[in-house]
Amino acid sequence: MVFKKLPKKVVVHSRTHQVSYKKRVIKKDGNLTLAGKTNHAIKKIEVSLNQSDDQIESTLIHEILHAIAHEYEFQLSESMVLKLEQAIYETFSQNAWKIHVGRRKIKS
**In contact, 35 and 55? CB cutoff 8 Å:** yes
Q: Is residue 102 part of a domain?
A: no
Q: Which tens digits make up the pLDDT trace of 70-99?
A: 999 999 999 999 999 999 999 988 888 876
88 within domain boundaries:
yes
Residue 41 forms part of a structural domain: yes
CATH code assigned at 36 = 3.30.2010
Residue 18 domain flag: yes
Q: Is residue 4 part of a domain?
A: no
- The reported pLDDT for the residue numbered 5 is 75
Pairing of strands 33-34, 25-26: antiparallel
In a domain, 105, yes or no: no
The answer to whether residue 15 is domain-embedded is yes
Our count of domains for the chain comes to 1
- Residue 104's pLDDT band (cuts 50, 70, 90): low
Residue type, 69: A
> Does 1 score more than 50 pLDDT?
no
Cβ within 8 Å of residue 85, ≥6 positions away? 58, 61, 62, 65
Range of 70's domain?
Answer: 9-94
Q: Give the end-to-end CA distance of the chain in Å, rounded to a whole number.
A: 30
At 101 the pLDDT is 59
pTM score of the predicted model: 0.84
Q: What is the pLDDT of residues 3-18, one digit of tens each?
A: 557 889 999 999 999 9
pLDDT of 107 > 60? The answer is no
